[in-house]
Chain A
Amino acid sequence: NAGVTQTPKFQVLKTGQSMTLQCAQDMNHEYMSWYRQDPGMGLRLIHYSVGAGITDQGEVPNGYNVSRSTTEDFPLRLLSAAPSQTSVYFCASRETEGGNSPLHFGNGTRLTVT
């Protein structure tokens, strides 16, 4: 199994540009989520989804959009990039929304907005 696959690994954007971070999992997990990781701030939840067609906001959703048209894919869209969105982004999935199943993480995307 590939697990959770994130692309790209690195990205540089100029302020105002848009882009989509891709996330796919092949484990048939119901729950998928996006985090950003910043020094001294830990991991902060951006958006999450408990199943296809269902998404919800996390702690820091502003400036980001998500959709979940299939169980496998959960892309994160930056509509107009800002320097404050410079961060490392992680996609993570879990078998179900309930229970104690752990999160499986992708390898992360380092995004720099200039």
Chain B
Amino acid sequence: AQTVTQSQPEMSVQEAETVTLSCTYDTSENNYYLFWYKQPPSRQMILVIRQEAYKQQNATENRFSVNFQKAAKSFSLKISDSQLGDTAMYFCAFMNPVNAGNNRKLIWGLGTSLAVNP
């Protein structure tokens, strides 16, 4: 079965520092999609960043970047210059390619709770 594992249930970082959240997944597919979502205390789920497996270049969105290592099936999220507003639960998610038919639902990790301390 395809799985997504986030091995760090909780993390903390000082404001302005850099933190990396880990995510590993298990699949036999070659083309797929990976996502990081953020859920702040407001409860809203917000897309942070996404990566297509066929792209070798790591995705970047402002202070957020990923380290995508396909062979190792690793998809870590790096947050640079952490801000208090980054305090949230972060979820990693995996999606099969289009030709997977009905098996295209998102597979979610259990999340990492990140606290940014002043």
Contacts and interface: CB of A to CB of B under 8 A. Distances in A.
Interface stretch (B10-18, B41-49, B69-77): B41-49
Q: How large is the interface on A (under 10, 10 to 19, 20 to 34, 35 or more residues)?
A: 20 to 34
A43 B105 contact: no
B68 interface: no
Given A99-B98, A105-B45, A42 B105 contact: no
Contacts, number: 46
Given A97-B104, A110-B43, 14 more contacts: A33-B105, A41-B110, A42-B91, A43-B106, A43-B108, A92-B45, A100-B33, A100-B50, A102-B35, A102-B50, A103-B45, A103-B47, A105-B44, A108-B43
B86 interface: no
A26 interface: no
Interface in B4-51: 33, 35, 37, 42-47, 50
Contacts of B33: 100
A45 B44 contact: no
B116 interface: no
A56 B44 contact: no
Interface of A: 33, 40-43, 45, 48, 56, 58-59, 88, 90, 92, 97-100, 102-105, 107-108, 110
B45 A90 contact: yes
Contacts of B52: 100
A110 B98 CA distance: 33
